[in-house]
Amino acid sequence: MDGLNALKMTVNGRNIEVRVTPDELLVDVLREKLRLTGTKKGCGEGECGACTVIMDGKTVNSCLVPALKAQNSEIITIEGLEKNGELHPIQEAFIEQGAVQCGFCTPGVILSAKSLLDQKPFPSDNEIKMALSGHLCRCTGYVKFITAVKTAAAKLKRVEQ
């Protein structure tokens, strides 16, 4: 017995199966076994938001999720947003508004923004602040995040039309 368990999940639209130990965390499986390094490992305590992914439609800190808890789940990482080599409108908006600086927190912030915009296409400033409140950023001062989310909302509206 090798102590490994089969973990089956859908990651960025792809069905995958990987063998994991009972104590492995989702962030480590994504980064080290699946090579999806856009998910960052920051504090390891669920405080910084750098490891945020969307799991079954909700944002989670993947540093707090035992990998086996993702069994049969659908996971979206930052790599799953681009389609056919084209950035997602949210990613475009963050670049256009200068909301990307060092880039360490950006993947998690963008995924939280996506989750928010999926639920609320035109959020208020306060709703954006609440949705992004689990993220620590040392570069932008957060103001550009709010502008970027509003820009993304407008872009997504145009895409739908």
Per-residue pLDDT tens, the chain, 161 aa: give them: 578 999 999 999 999 999 999 999 999 999 999 999 999 999 999 999 999 999 999 999 999 999 999 999 999 999 999 999 999 999 999 999 999 988 899 999 999 999 999 999 999 999 999 999 999 998 877 899 999 999 999 999 876 65
CA distance 21 to 38: 22
**Domain residue spans in the chain?**
5-80, 89-160
As a CATH number, domain 89-160 is 1.10.150.120
Please state the three-class secondary structure of 120-131 as a single string: CCCCCHHHHHHH
Superfamily of domain 5-80: Beta-grasp domain (3.10.20.30)
- The reported pTM is 0.93
Please state the three-class secondary structure of 75-92 as a single string: EECHHHCCECCECCHHHH
Single-letter code of the amino acid located at 114: K
